[in-house]
Structure 1
């Protein structure tokens, strides 16, 4: 073997190693803030005017990255933190199923900087396995199917399921989650958390069909608190894209007959649609009804109207209006940080109220 052949072999092997070791790290985020007005709050009948963050989508920033391990396998990570655009605060509890602030769970009430995501895992032709704090399988595959509002899932889907306690399952800690590859028009996902004696155990999954104009998503989640009591919820949603018009519908059932703190024995149904008025302008409307089944049953209702105008691929203007007719179970007319506690609480039970927000959303 001559020197030239040896050098070519060495450089070729080195190039292969470097190719397998290629990695990328990306800083990204979403910022959502606007002015809002509400006709009343839980503590005052006078109008409340405020700067409202997260009306449509939750503001956040994060770091994600991948490394190619070769043979079609890569490692990935994601760290993601919330931002309150009114003041720059990144606080917030880290609810994990039945281990939530309402239950007095210390794990849930402690501030958590990376409370949206703190996960690392492997992905390839087999799908994706993630370990850490991550969105649950049951929720992750629902928002884009059940929600019609282009500004985001917070006002509408977020408000309705928050009133049922499902907001405790948007992310869970101590979790292992598997997401399958696409199998024809189907995919599925499963997430499980043992609890480790610090938070409640939970198990959930989703099966989804997405092919052409049709999307159908079915989720089931079971949470167990530290005393061993369990709560189970099931959600089915679907959408059909007619082209310029897209129809969305869904329903769920929250079975909390065991009285797990932080969840409400209830059911929900919704119907909505979006219309592409121009390439830049989308108009949407959606109706939500949440029926509480504890004591004399009653139904609280929410109507959401949304106009969304894309200035570019990254920047959009929006208007969101919410109208609620609440019974014993209260819904807020608009999502927003600081809207669910203290003097700014805009959830008024057994009354009607409304809210309007004009805002901007920017992706980077």
Structure 2
């Protein structure tokens, strides 16, 4: 009897300990067909011929597999991690940002009601800001992201390696984020910082960020979106840099949805372009139809720096 009671007590304690931590496997599968002529932010697995798209600029997103976990330490304190790798459904090859196995995410964090400190490869604050008002949801074929690189230096983009970051808790829709990368951890032996602030509550989403790599001009962005219900409008002004070279301009866009169907158009226009020496008007038209809460089909046309690109595909989140 005593042994049974002890066994039950141990089992109860074990269950309580297990309940305080969890690990989740998640991912995205995205594939389609299209034609790519531009070399944008997304990785290209297609040529100027019409062919399979598995991890390209004209996919809505890059297929991925990730694992994340969290443990409750008590007293409102938690610790967690996130590892994520990219996949090319064309041939099953690894397709992560930066060309490394866990190049999409490789970090751990410690958080509480005071905010979260995150260490490792992770999204930049500039990406977090841009994704709040980008009408395509920062899709691979986003005209805004491809033209102005999420308002960051050309050597940075949506993710930063070896970053020390802090993200505040959300207070009435408002939060701030800051990240720093030491000079020995970034290409070119230069340190970098990234600061962002955003408000996202109700129909309004606005944000601004500043990204600075040592010995380069400062990159920045400011933008916002207003959702009327069936319709949404957005606009921004951004600058990306590479050394002393700058590319900056504005974007304007609108989106409309009728039940499961959404139609989006977004246009960017350079006011200065020292990266290519020519000012461009870029744009994207996207149509999506939701088959469920986790699956949708899409079609997109991207005009980028004088080239025409298109894609048709299906995306499933799990």
User: Please, what TM-score do these two structures have when normalized by structure 2?
Assistant: 0.84
2:232 matched residue in structure 1: 246
Is the counterpart of residue 235 in structure 1 residue 236 in structure 2?
Answer: no
Residue 37 of structure 1: CA displacement?
Answer: 3.0
Please name the residue that 1:332 is paired with: none
1:86 match: secondary structure: coil
Q: Say if 2:148 and 2:247, in contact at 8 Å, map to a contact too.
A: no
Residue of structure 2 aligned with 1:355, choices 303, 309, 312: 309
Structure 1 residue 52 corresponds to structure 2 residue 53: yes
Cα displacement (A) at 1:167 = 6.6
User: Equivalents in 2 of 1:153, 1:52: separation in Å?
Assistant: 12
Q: 2:296 aligns with which of 309, 313, 316?
A: 316
Structure 1 unaligned segments of length 5 or more: list them. Answer: 95-110, 327-351
Structure-2 change in CA distance of 1:22 and 1:253 (3 Å) = same
SS at match of 1:158: helix
Give 2:213's aligned residue: 223
Q: Distance in 1 between matches of 2:171 and 2:283?
A: 36
SS at match of 1:265: strand
**Selected match of 1:265 from 242, 246, 260:** 246
Q: Structure 1 segments of 4 or more deviating over 6 A?
A: none
Counterpart mapping for 1:1-364 below 5 A = 15=13, 18-19=16-17, 22-37=20-35, 48-54=49-55, 55-91=59-95, 94=98, 111-145=99-133, 147-149=134-136, 152-162=139-149, 165-166=153-154, 168-196=156-184, 199=187, 200-224=190-214, 229-254=215-240, 256=242, 258-259=243-244, 264-278=245-259, 280-294=260-274, 298-324=278-304, 326=305, 352-364=306-318
Q: State the distance in 1 between where 2:184 and 2:307 align.
A: 43
| CA shift digits 1:247-267 (9 cap, x unpaired) | 1111112355x43xxxx4110
Q: Aligned equivalents of 2:276 and 2:181: distance in 1?
A: 35
Please say if residues 185 and 209 of structure 1, whose CA atoms lie closer than 8 Å, have aligned partners that are also in contact: yes
Q: Deviations over 1:134-184 (max 9, x none)?
A: 111122232131x11268354323321249854723111111111100122
Shift of 1:16: 10
| SS of 2:50 mapped into structure 1 | strand
Q: Distance in 1 between matches of 2:69 and 2:249?
A: 37
Does the Cα contact within 8 Å between 1:143 and 1:157 map onto a contact in 2?
no
The structure carrying a bigger strand percent of its residues is 2
Q: Is the alpha carbon distance of 1:287 and 1:23 closer, same or farther for their aligned partners in structure 2, counting shifts above 3 Å?
A: same
Deviations 1:29-75 (A, max 9, x none): 1122111035x679xxx962111234221221111011111111111
Q: Structure 1 residue 28: deviation in Å?
A: 0.7
Conservation of the 8 A alpha-carbon contact between 1:143 and 1:153: no
CA RMSD of aligned residues (A): 3.0
| Cross-structure match for 2:43 | none
**Which residues of structure 2 form unaligned runs of 5+?**
40-46
* Contact kept? 2:216, 2:241, Cα under 8 Å: no
Aligned to 1:336: none
Note if contact 1:156-1:304 (Cα within 8 Å) is conserved in structure 2. yes
Q: 1:254-309: per-residue Cα shift (whole Å, max 9, x none)? A: 355x43xxxx411021111110122x111111111234443996311212111100
